[in-house]
Amino acid sequence: MENTELIKQVSAAAQIWLDGNYDAETKSQVKAMLNNDDKTDLIDSFYRTLEFGTGGLRGIMGVGTNRMNIYTVGAATQGFANYLKKQFASDSQISVVIGHDCRNNSRKFAEISADILSANGIKVYLFDALRPTPEVSFAIRELKANAGINITASHNPKEYNGYKAYWNDGAQLVPPHDKNVIDEVNAITRIDDIRFQGNKELIQIIGEDIDNRMIESIKAISLSPDAVRKHHDMKIVYTPIHGTGIMMVPKMLKEFGFDNIINVPEQDVISGDFPTVTSPNPEEPAALKLAVEKAKAEGADLVIASDPDADREGIAVRNDNGEFVLLTGNQTGSMLTYYLARRWKELGKLKGNEYMVKTIVTSETFKRIADRYGIQIYDVYTGFKWIAAVMLANEGKKTYIGGGEESYGYLPEDFVRDKDAISTIALIAEMAAWAKENGMTVYQLLKHVYMEFGYSKEKGISIVKKGKSGADEIKSMMANYRQNPPKELAGSTVTLYKDFASLKQIKDGVESSITDMPCTSDVIQLFTEDGTKVSIRPSGTEPKIKFYIEILGKMDSENDYERASDAAEQKINAVRASLGI
């Protein structure tokens, strides 16, 4: 039966766009939606206003309140400007850094944001061209700006774009700022409330100077320069997958000392259409296909890819049979955590006040490594803004070593406050040179980590549910898991149940409060007697419900890796059956 109330609601929202001071092309598209007997597009475009999630504002480009366009970007920027003017009313000059990625409309959205901020009397540092997300974070801190905006949809398909808002610490917004900005945005009920006419005198173009400052800062985090010098000619294939990494990563690798960087010419082409891939996501094998083919042809041992905004990276390495395998974010992150902890200890840099950070859905291998080296480790919610929040709280008190999340993001320095593929890729290459110096391939290093700290296998499963009906279905699934939590997973009893929405947990039948989280979050976690961990959460930026499964296994030797992996995969399938997914 047709939802007449919903259609009435979205039609009213669309009519505001028809009656308001919107451009003719936008009005034409809205009118076509209203006149169409099929109201699906109308509903999906107007049933809500885009909200900040774990990665900010993100959506499909098009007309409507639930789409990325000059008006939703304009409202977000005007609301952000209003909030900044309240928060920094005593500052003689508020300033904001603006960057963007390679996506269609990204430059337009960045320039519109610059115009709106400057129209509100705010100074803007606008990058001269596309730049990686971590460089925007770096520039905020380097230029002592009050905030930042980055136009990017990260690794999403080409139909998407997004808007990330940053605070003066260089990190994405956390409470109360994120909610307060949304309130300011929601308070803008008329298009005429947005000041689109910019003040060019308040817009300063930045670029190469910031590049060079960031490169010098990253060079200082190198831990094994001798190994790099010995293996400087190691063949490394790198692809930016049509994105911003091309601006910084090859240069950064050369500055670290690597002089045999092999490009993938087809993917060096900057394009928001991502012509060589279906999805520009380094998690997916298809995105690295051309790079792996190039590595085979060139005899390289290491393949590295960055996503379009160069905050995440994926790698492929040769296994013991010489075949390329893609490593997961947990595997790469575990090796980096081990490399950092071990090298800091070997270099005498561990003084007792160091710490690392991971997200709650990330592999517990990170924690086992940190514990072994006497390094404190924090567990935080998904989203690098929460890692950055810990860094801010510890600033001047403790020393940050590194941190990351399972979704292929890592940060091995403290002068950026978002995940950083630029520095991470440089460190991965250095780690590979160090492993080579110690008689290991990267693949053998991974097995060494598992032997020393215990084998684990992690798998992320995303179920896509699009549109209003999909959002409702995801809510229903989460409600069902809360009302009827599984009592066992793959035959192992659930001994600990955590619900971060209520900050309650039940351990061995006894309920208590979760006290180490800054706020609530729509996440459920299950832990079993045999060490299995399952996390369930709706995505904050995509129409998905996500399941994160971690299985503990056992390796009797490094040659036992494949058997342990196969056994863990069977266990994962059994856990999926228990969850009904």
What separation in angstroms does the CA of 172 have from each of 112, 225, 384, 409, 485? 20, 32, 8, 15, 33
Classify residue 271 by burial, with Cβ atoms within 10 Å: 0-12, 13-18, 19+: middle
The helix (H) or strand (E) run that includes residue 510 is: strand 510-513
Confirm if 314 and 257 have CB atoms less than 8 A apart.
Answer: no
Name the β-bridge partners of 96: 124, 147
Query: What six digits make up the tokens of 420?
Result: 């950083």
Distance CA 135, CA 420 (A): 8
Q: Which amino acid is located at 359 in the chain? A: T
Name the β-bridge partners of 459: 549
Q: Which amino acid is located at 438 in the chain? A: N
Distance CA 47, CA 202 (A): 36
> What is the Cα 349 distance to its own chain's centre?
29
How many other CB atoms are there within 10 angstroms of residue 239's CB atom? 31
Distance CA 578, CA 581 (A): 8
Name the β-bridge partners of 505: 498, 512
Is residue 154 annotated as a catalytic residue, yes or no?
A: yes
Q: Let me know the angle formed at the C-alpha of 156 by 150 and 158, rounded to the nearest 5 degrees.
A: 95
Could you give phi then psi for residue 270, rounded to 5 degrees?
-75, 120
> What is the Cα 143 distance to its own chain's centre?
24
Distance CA 219, CA 230 (A): 17
Among 106, 118, 154, 456, which one carries the catalytic annotation? 154
Distance CA 513, CA 501 (A): 11
Residues designated as active site: 154
